[in-house]
Amino acid sequence: MSLNSNIPSGPMATKWSKHKQDSKLINPKNKRKFTVLVVGSGLAGSSAAATLSELGYKVKCFCFQDSARRAHSIAAQGGINAAKNYQNDGDSVHRLFYDTVKGGDFRAREANVHRLAEVSVNIIDQCVAQGVPFAREYGGMLANRSFGGAQVSRTFYARGQTGQQLLLGAYSALNKEIAGGGVQMFPRTEMLDLVTVDGHAKGIVTRDLVTGKIESHAGDAVLLCTGGYGNVFYLSTNAMGCNVTATWRAHRKGAFFANPCYTQIHPTCIPVSGDYQSKLTLMSESLRNDGRVWVPKNAADCGKNPDQIPEDARDYYLERKYPSFGNLAPRDISSRAAKEACDDGRGVGPGGRGVYLDFAEAIGQFGAKTIAERYGNLFDMYERITGESAYKRPMRIYPAVHYTMGGLWVDYNLMSNLPGLHVLGEANFSDHGANRLGASALMQGLADGYFVIPTTIANYLVNQKPGSITTEHPEFKKAVENCTAQTKRFLNIKGKRSVDSFHRELGLLVWDKCGMARTKEGLTEALNRIPALREEFWQNVNVPGSGDFTNPELEKAGRVADFMEFAELLCLDARHREESCGGHFRSEYQYPDGEAKRDDENFSYAAAWEYTGNFSQPTLNKEPLTFEEVHLAVRSYK
């Protein structure tokens, strides 16, 4: 099948304004007749739901958490990029665009990225108007900080909790619309399946997580704003509830899944301490502004107290390898460098999987008070988890799964190949290519929700007869029956192993074979083992309780069942992409100095996988990536 990305013609800088001109309009009276289903209430979901309601559409918004405010966007710490150039340091829309395309290792769609850079400036205006308390200077102007992968200071922040503040802003807009009656909110409600009618997405099946009731909802369009699939690795920085179910179920109904192998490993997380561990905690990348990353030069020094390792016995490996970006080298590069150091036997801490992030020099230069102002809450968090003070000894950090660049394939209108199904934020594949730069996820979520979808959704809806499909349609009945049957099936297995034990086993396997470095052999092995594990899951999982009441184990079982299927596609995509780019590093494809070796001739495309009914044989559709503005080059941060 050929993929039409619907990229507007004309010069890059005017594509979005041209597209806005060319986009269809729906008159205010008619907008009220359309119902839009928004799944997820993170930055993308809340902002889209609120803005569509402001425009006059009827919106139903769903989230599995007990409140829209708890979606995992809340946990983003560092900041949000915008090409405001308030610092007068040479930033511009073009430079943000360029940095993002390069940061994505030339695997993103240029036109989408340019649009993202353009609307980034509006996001800041919008958030400030909502009362988001960004950091400011004494004169009252907004403050900025620098972030990985950029040489300008374009990141806006609110202490170490920018995500929470932006989400609370979007949530407040959502509340305003709920109060006004434009949005109906369904908390503690999980999407179980997508309903398609004649190939169009027209509804969803949900489970009320309190009463257990399985219901369906019909709409004229469906927006999936359901985040990423990082929890396929079991241990990640994602929230415990983050899952692939919505996008995976849509995939099984025909939506293409693009580039699942682009997974981001964040370099600054707290290392694993034991096998009981349920999640990994991220320390904001902003720490790298003042912290210096090092390991001992000599493996024999690893067990020593860091104070006793003299300056000349330390290897500040990022500064050594990447003199111009130093400790601010992009995430994929920093992560891999940490892995190499630990593989070399020079890792520190329990199990030797850790490197130091040292603030001694910054504390000496600026004083502990200034450092506490900048990172106090992060230092506190580190101490709570590890029992160590980062003011006194260097933090220990190690990379962990953090974000997934892959997702459902969408066109320029953010619509998937299934008409009516729109995908926003981390759930889609479009803007970050093979690697996402810091402070870009918040930007994308809000860009999609506040500024892109409100314009582009009309291009689909204008040709639809509002309310023409209701939940009386046989497809809805069928989908509800399927979901009910799946619930019964889980409860009837009554096997020996808990859902978590399967999830942990799957995660370890995927992390081992499809984590920071991947090989053909390893991936093939994973691909052999995943179906067997999936088989065992369906034979031997133990889901206690009943389906008609609150049952967290049942919720987890549904999510893990989908991860079991999705993991196979993840590894298939990783095996097929015989190059290294961004978060996808294939050990076979590297330069002698260990840098990732891209193959632009053969792999300069987005891999959009089509479900065929057989998990091990999906069909590959390719969207070629062309670069008009940014010239393909080896991505160097040296």
Binding segment toward other proteins, per CB under 8 A, in 275-283, 313-321, 476-484, 599-607: 275-283
Alpha carbon distance 465, 441 (integer Å): 34
Nearer to other proteins, 326 or 495 (CB): 495
C-alpha–C-alpha distance, residues 473 and 463, integer Å: 20
Overall size of the chain counted in residues: 638
Residue-wise DSSP of 387-446:
S--TTTS-EEEEEEEEEE--EE---TTSB-SSTTEEE-GGGB-SSSTT-PPTT-HHHHHH
Hey, which residues between 181 and 200 contact other proteins (CB under 8 A)? 185, 187
> Interface with other proteins includes 9 (CB under 8 A)?
no
Residue 229 near residue 247, CB atoms below 8 Å: yes
Residue span 340-359 as binding mask against other proteins, x where in contact by CB under 8 A, dash where not: --------------------
List the interface residues with other proteins, window 472-511 (CB under 8 A): 496, 498, 500-501
Q: Are 635 and 318 in contact (CB under 8 A)?
A: no
Residue 352's Cα: distance from chain center in Å? Answer: 28
Residue 522, φ and ψ in degrees, nearest 5: -60, -45
Q: Which of 107, 207, 331, 635 is catalytic?
A: 331
Q: How far is the CB of 75 from other proteins (least distance, A)?
A: 5
Query: In 10 A of CB 229, how many CB atoms?
Result: 30
Closest to other proteins by CB, 223 or 239: 239
Find the binder of other proteins among 3, 7, 128, 508 (CB under 8 A): 128
**Interface residue with other proteins, options 27, 129, 198, 492 (CB under 8 A):** 129
70 lies in the binding site for other proteins (CB under 8 A): yes
| Cβ-based nearer residue to other proteins, 194 or 457 | 457
Task: Tell me how far apart the alpha carbons of residues 497 and 415 are, in angstroms, rounded to a whole number.
Answer: 40
Chain centroid, CA 289 distance in Å: 23
Q: Please identify which residue in 549, 578, 626, 636 interacts with other proteins, judged by CB under 8 A.
A: 549
**CA distances for 633 relative to 87, 101, 104, 105, 352, angstroms:** 28, 11, 12, 9, 35
Using the rule CB under 8 A, is 149 a contact of other proteins?
Answer: no
The dihedral built from the CA positions of residue 22, 28, 29 and 35, taken in this order, carries a sign that is: positive
Residue 1 engages other proteins in binding (rule: CB under 8 A): no
Q: How far is the CB of 567 from other proteins (least distance, A)?
A: 22
Q: How far is the CB of 336 from other proteins (least distance, A)?
A: 24
Q: Which is nearer to other proteins, 75 or 372 (by Cβ)?
A: 75
CB 280 within 8 A of CB 403: no
CB neighbours of residue 615 within 10 Å? 19
List the one residue from 37, 108, 158, 434 that touches other proteins (CB under 8 A): 158
Residue 29 interacting with other proteins (CB under 8 A) = no
Residue in 40, 104, 241, 406 binding other proteins, rule: CB under 8 A: 241
Smaller CB separation from other proteins, 122 or 484: 122
One of 273, 389, 616, 636 touching other proteins (CB under 8 A): 273
Listed ranges 88-96, 117-125, 191-199, 529-537: which one lies at the site for other proteins (CB under 8 A): 117-125
C-alpha distances (whole Å) from 368 to each of 287, 290, 364, 391 are 14, 12, 8, 7
Phi–psi pair at 47, nearest 5 degrees: -70, -40
Is 534 a binding residue for other proteins by CB under 8 A? The answer is no
* Range in contact with other proteins (rule: CB under 8 A) among 277-285, 323-331, 392-400, 457-465: 277-285
Q: Is 375 helix (H, G, I), strand (E, B) or coil?
A: helix
Distant-in-sequence, close-in-space partners of 617: CB < 8 Å, separation ≥ 6: none
Q: Which of residues 450-469 bind other proteins (CB under 8 A)?
A: 450-451, 454
- As a whole number of Å, the end-to-end CA separation of the chain is 41
Q: Nearest to residue 412, comparing CAs of 80, 16, 139?
A: 16
Of residues 388 through 447, those in contact with other proteins by CB under 8 A are: none
Give yes or no for residue 323 binding other proteins (CB under 8 A). no
The amino acid present at 64, given as its one-letter code, is F
User: What DSSP element (H or E) covers 372?
Assistant: helix 368-386
Site for other proteins in 593-632 (CB under 8 A): none
Binding of residue 139 to other proteins (CB under 8 A): yes
Query: Measured from the CB of residue 142, what is the shortest distance to other proteins in angstroms?
Result: 6
Q: Does 133 bind other proteins (CB under 8 A)?
A: yes
- What is the Cβ-side half-sphere exposure of residue 551, based on CA atoms within 13 angstroms? 22
Residue 1 or 141 having the CB closest to other proteins: 141
Torsion sign, CA atoms 522, 525, 531, 535: negative
Q: Give, as one character, the DSSP assignment of residue 279.
A: -
> Does residue 122 touch other proteins according to CB under 8 A?
yes
Which region, judged by CB under 8 A, interacts with other proteins, from 233-241, 309-317, 405-413, 558-566? 233-241
Binding to other proteins by residue 369, rule CB under 8 A? no
Residue selected from 1, 21, 276, 308 as contacting other proteins according to rule CB under 8 A: 276
Nearer to other proteins, 135 or 533 (CB): 135
Q: Does 142 bind other proteins (CB under 8 A)?
A: yes
Residue 190: CB minimum distance to other proteins, A: 13
Closest distance to other proteins from the beta carbon of 550 (Å): 4
**Cα(523)–Cα(336) distance, integer angstroms:** 18
Q: Least CB distance from residue 133 to other proteins, whole Å? A: 4
Q: How far is CA 394 from the centre of its chain?
A: 29
Least distance between other proteins and beta carbon 373 (Å): 10
Identify which range of 278-286, 295-303, 516-524, 586-594 contacts other proteins by CB under 8 A: 278-286
Decide if residue 131 touches other proteins (CB under 8 A): yes
Would you call 368 helix, strand, or coil by DSSP?
helix
Decide if residue 21 touches other proteins (CB under 8 A).
Answer: no
Residue 292 annotated as catalytic: no
Q: Which of 2, 384, 492, 532 binds other proteins (CB under 8 A)?
A: 384
362, 290 contact by CB (below 8 A): yes
- From 70-78, 110-118, 354-362, 572-580, span contacting other proteins (CB under 8 A): 70-78
Nearer to other proteins, 454 or 515 (CB): 454
3-state secondary structure 563-580: HHHHHHHHHHHHHHCCCC
Residue 381 in the binding site for other proteins (CB under 8 A):
yes
Contact call for residues 502 and 542 (beta carbons, < 8 A): no
**Rounded least distance, CB 51 to other proteins, Å:** 4
**Which residue, 393 or 622, is less far from other proteins as judged by CB?**
393
Exposure class string for 586-601: b at 16+ Cβ within 10 A, else e: beebeeeeebbbbebe
Task: Report, in Å, the least distance between residue 571 CB and other proteins.
Answer: 27
Please identify every residue annotated as catalytic.
331
